[in-house]
Each structure stands twice: as structure tokens, then as C-alpha cells.
Chains A and B, each alone.
Chain A
Amino acid sequence: MSLKIRDLPNEELVAPGNSGCPGCGATMGARMAMKVLGSRTIMVNGTGCMTVNYGVLAAARFPYLHMLFETTGAVLSGLDAGLRSLGKREGVTLLGWAGDGGTADIGFQSLSGAVERGHKFVYICYDNESYMNTGGQRSGVTPYGASTTTCPAGKRSIGESRPMQRRKDMVEIMAAHGIPYAATASLAFPMDYMAKVKRAAEVDGPSYVHLLSPCPPGWGSNDELTVEVSRLAVETGMWILYEVVDGERKFNKRLKTLRPITDYLKTQKRFRHLLDQPEEIEKIQSFVTKRAERLGLLG
């Protein structure tokens, strides 16, 4: 990984005038990805926030398809085959871009099929941990304890109650398809993220990058803290930066120690109800600490 900031082009392929919310992680993530992928990239975007962000004013300076929610993988398959059939595949990068709902839930089958068949594309999931385009409903990756509109915290509810270990782990699921490259990424570590996108584009076959993408209105975090919230997720061990290269796992950001998870949780209203429930905090902290130790993240 030797991507240098001076290697990045000044050219902005995502034009000004996108309709994303202030502090939107998804728009930042797309901008950075396009810095390394370049203009000879076709983006297929399964419906979500980005449909609104880039799809109202056509803010993209590269071919961009706004497509049905669950079809990203299948449309990429068709594009890959179509371009091959016409002898136009060479020198073109195919990028799938979808949220966690479009990836881990409704688009899961289509993505799994496309990956299993071995079409060549980069797939980036911008994970804001719920259905934010429709106002913040739970998804298959919503973390334990988060309050969403369909699993709201209340007198009898902790919010999302699915145990932490059962959050759908997309990177491991993709890696289990035997693909050459899968990785997590964070907006707080942009060079790491962009190097991963670059590598994902260079491998032969499907590749997958899972980007934690804070959503200020959905998470109840401050607009200007998107990068900071992303950093805290990594430093608390709530979000682990790693990659799976041909089946080999490698950490990209080892930690000396874990910051307490409350440093992360308290930045977001969706977790606020947990802060006066020490037993819940302890449950999450214990899971995160044990996971870091088991994986060998520390040291």
C-alpha cells in the first residue's frame, strides 16, 4: 500500500451541487473512491441516499446508473458481460455502490450471485447501519443497542436487540465467496481507504470494500464530526480496519489500547439511551474487548 496523497488527481469527478446532507459519509466516500478509480469508471448505484445525493442534479462526471434497490450485483454482471461481448471491457472499471440495506439485505442475493459467478467489478458498500434514505429503519447490520425508527429504544426496548456477534458480517461473507480482495474502510483513514479501493480495482475478479459511513441525521451525530466519529469507531475497536487478500487476513490499523466504547457511543443520539445503563455498556464493551483480543488486534 503505497498510495501517496500527491498521487491523487486534483480533478473532481463528483461535481459540486450534490444534494447530500451536511457531513454525509456516503458522498465523501464516493468522492474519494472516484479519485483513485478515475473517469473510465461506470458506477452502478442501487437505490439509496446516493440516488438523492447525485441523482437529482446529476452531480457525476462519469457514467452513472441509478438503478433499482436490489439489482446492483446483477446489473454489474450484465454490464461486465455486455462490454465483453462488444470487446469494450478493457480499460473500464465497473463500480457497484450501495448502502448497507442494498447490500446486506435486499441486494444480498444479487451481489452474492454476481460475486460467485466471478464478474469483474469493485463493490463498495457505504454502511450507515440502517435504511437512512427512508428515515432510519433497522437493517441487517444495525449494531446492538442502536435506536432506529423500526427498533426504537423505549421502556421495554434497548433498540436493536440482535446480539452483537450476529450482526451480518459482509466482509467475511464476501471473503467466504473466495474472492481475491475484501476489506473494511473508514473515512478517518482516507489514504488507507483509497489504497484499498485502488487495490480492489487491480485484482482480477470481484472485490469488495465495506466503508463505515456515518450519517449525521440518522445517527444523531454532529455534521462536522463525521470524520471524528469514524475515527472513534476505529479507536474504540467498534470498527476494525482489515483486509482479506486471497484469503489472508491482515489488520491495517493495529491499536495499542482500546479507547472506551462510550467515547464513540456518546457522539451519537442513537446510542444515548445506553449511557445510563451501565450493564448494557459493559455488555458491548466486553464484546468489543474480547473480539479485539481474540483477533489479535492489539499490540
Chain B
Amino acid sequence: MASVFVSGNMAAAIGARQAEVNVVAAYPITPQTSIVEYLAKFVADGELDAQTIPVESEHSAMAACIGASLAGARAFTASSSQGLALMHEPVFAAAGLRLPLVMAVANRALSHPVTIWSDHSDSMAERDSGWLQFYCETCQEVLDTIIIGYRVAEDARVLLPAMVCLDGFYLSHLSEPVSVPAIEDVRRFAPKSAPKYPILDVDDPKSIGLVISPDFFTEFVYDKHASMSMARDVTEEAFAEFERMFGRRYSHLESYRIDDAEVVLVGMGTMAGTIRVAVDGLRARGMRVGALKIKTYRPFPGEEIRRALRGARVVAVVDRAVTYGTGGIAYYDVARELVNESPHPLLLDFVAGIGGRDITVDTINRVAEQALAVSLDGRRDDVTWVDANKETLAIWGLALR
């Protein structure tokens, strides 16, 4: 197993290379661009035997991946923000056609105002598309999750595409030492077997993508729902096998010092590491705080969430995306799992890190301090914009609640 020092974007490209993708179709957008540049260079240098399609838009990138997948090829793309939003229509179609694509998403906020910096609003807008979604914290995790993504997506029990999300710049442009699994091992872990879904084959002609009446549409949707639910177990199997073969352990959730925690701080993506560092500091000050990272966001690991948060007095979810007028988005997924638990923890909703605002240890400390204060007097409040700037809002005549 070779070790290299690479960025998150390079790790994504290496993941696709080691998975021996057949077709790469993508369109440049910051901060994703270098992923497909690296892949193009791999192909140019003979390190990857694949067809690259430098398409004229992200919409066509996804459509071309759909075409390639329907030819029976393993296809890969990557995007961010506006690009992912432009793909929205064929993103749903890929899931509906049950095509096992893998896409790296270098998370970036959606315009307007124009920004190139990170939050989760782009991938959250595709949350209900029928794609698996994994949020990564390290470059190694990006590389590994792309390989795991193919294994899970291509599993006959799943046949749904997978998004591997990495926070733009925080991870896409962060360099770390990364261990590269050997191609022979990846072949054994995620073998390219004959497609388990209908393809466009002149020797076995089928009509694909037909019109479906209300007599059947619900069942098609239910089938996707059931497969997404099944993907929880299939992904667990993949995590276990990955650990056996490569020695690195992944799980839907990663908990840190939660066993006796009064307050558990929940987050996704790169903020997870910051939260753990903050937890150590808070613990040193005598606060019983723990951390829970959600790696697998779709399918949502509900049972694991309930198990992990049983016994906590307060659960504070920190979201890097907003559902307007309400609050954080992952907050609702967590709350849904806990609402019928008895007793259930007090749930707190925090929004932070929007449009590239750094989530620092100080940000997390403020979340924890508020969560502890609330837990003492038992009050709950609306969503807390923990890092919003009161002075700026005051200029606009807005008060921060």
C-alpha cells in the first residue's frame, strides 16, 4: 500500500483511478475542478485506462454518466454548488434508472450572492434524489469512500448512485498523507462484475425509461426506498470488509467521548474534527461533552443514532445548511429518530459555517456552552445562528435571535 501526500481532490481522483472507472464525464467548477484535471492527467499518462468526456455542462456530465452506465461501464463525475444544481434533473434520473454512479461533491454554497466557499447547501438540495450520501472528514476518507461507494452502489440489493461529499477548500484543498490501496485489492473489494441492472445491449434489447402510470409509480418509489434502507446494512458490510482488507475502520457514525456525556454535539464533514478537539478542551474544563459525526447521511442511520444518543440530556446538531425560516437540515433527521424515544434528549438546533465561515473550536465552544446552559434550566429555543455577526445584521436592521 503506497503512501502519498495529497489534497482531498487528488484523493478523490486517486479513489476513482484505483476503482478503475471506465468513463469520466465532468465539467469544471471551483472547488471541484482539480478532481477531473487529475483524472484527465492519469488518462493522458496511461495511469488510468478510461474514456474522458469533457462535456459542455454539468447537466450533460450527469447525462453522459447515465449513458456510460447504461452501456455497462463504471462511470464517475464530480461537481460542486451551481454545477450540482444544474445537474439536479439527471441526478434524479440516475437514481430512478438505478445506475450505480459515484460522484464526488466538493461542497460549496449556492449563489446568490456569488460565493465559492463551502457549506452543505449544494448536496443537501440533492438529499432526496435517491443517491447515497457520505460526508468525509479526511483525505483518506475521501479516497476510501469512493471505493466503498462503488461497492455499495453496484450491490444488487442497492443499485443506487452514491455521492461522496468533501467540504470545499477545507478538505478539497487540504493535503494530508494518504494510503493508496493497491488496484488488485480494490478489484477484490469492489469487483466489476456484469451489471446487475438492465443496460442498452443490442444482444438483449430492452426499452428503458418507460412511461409509468399511477398504477405502478408508487411501487417504483417504494422499491428505491427499500433499497436505500437496505443500503444501511450493505454499507456496514462494506465497511467491515474494507477494514479486514485495508485496516481502516469506517462506520455510519463516529462517536467520541459520548459514554458519560451530558451534551452530545453532532456534525458532519470536516467540522467533526474541530468538534472532537473542542470536546477535549471542554472536558478538561470539567464539562461532560461528547461528539457524534454522521458519515452516512443517506441512508440515514436512525437506529445507530438512537443507540448513540440514548442517555444524553442534550443533543446539539450543528448544520452547515439551512431550511429557510426553520433551521438546520440534519437537525430534523436527528430529531425524527429521537422524538418517540422516552425519555428523549433535549434537542438543539445550531447553524454555523455557512458560505465558508470557518467553524473554529471557539464556535463549537459556544455551541457547547449554550447547550449546557439550556440543559440546566430546561428551556429550548429556536435555531441558533451561532456564528452570525450581530453588528452586520444590526446595520441591516435585523436582530439576531
Contacts and interface: CB of A to CB of B under 8 A. Distances in A.
B200 A63 contact: yes
10 contacts: A42-B200, A74-B59, A77-B25, A79-B67, A82-B69, A82-B72, A85-B73, A109-B56, A114-B60, A116-B56
Nearest to B22: A85
A81 B64 contact: yes
A237 B191 CA distance: 59
Contacts of B59: 70-71, 74, 110
Interface string B65-86: 1111111110100000000000
Interface in B204-222: 204-211
A40 interface: yes
Interface of B: 22-23, 25, 49-57, 59-61, 63-73, 75, 89-90, 93, 200-202, 204-211
Contacts of B69: 78, 82
Contacts of A114: 60
Contacts of B60: 71, 73-74, 77, 109-110, 113-114
A245 interface: no
Interface stretch (A22-30, A51-59, A251-259): A51-59
Nearest to B24: A81
Contacts of A60: 205, 207
A67 B200 contact: no
A44 interface: yes
Contacts of B202: 39-42, 62-63, 91-92
Given A42-B200, A68-B63, A62 B205 contact: yes
A77 B60 CA distance: 9
B43 to A, nearest CB: 11
A32 interface: no
A84 interface: yes
Given A41-B202, A66-B207, A67-B209, A79 B90 contact: no
A62 B370 CA distance: 64
B246 to A, nearest CB: 26
A8 B66 CA distance: 33
B71 A117 contact: no
A78 B57 contact: no
Interface in A64-116: 64-68, 70-71, 73-86, 88, 91-92, 109-110, 112-114, 116
Contacts of B201: 63
A288 to B, nearest CB: 35
Closest 10 pairs between A and B when the two form their complex, measured CB to CB: A78-B67, A82-B71, A113-B56, A82-B68, A78-B64, A74-B60, A74-B63, A82-B73, A81-B51, A71-B63
Contact of A74 (B23, B52, B67, B72): B67
B210 A86 contact: no
A61 interface: yes
A258 B23 CA distance: 51
Given A54-B207, A63-B205, A68-B90, A112 B56 contact: yes
Contact of A117 (B53, B72, B207): B53
B90 A71 contact: yes
B89 A39 contact: no
Contact of B23 (A54, A68, A81): A81
A64 B71 contact: no
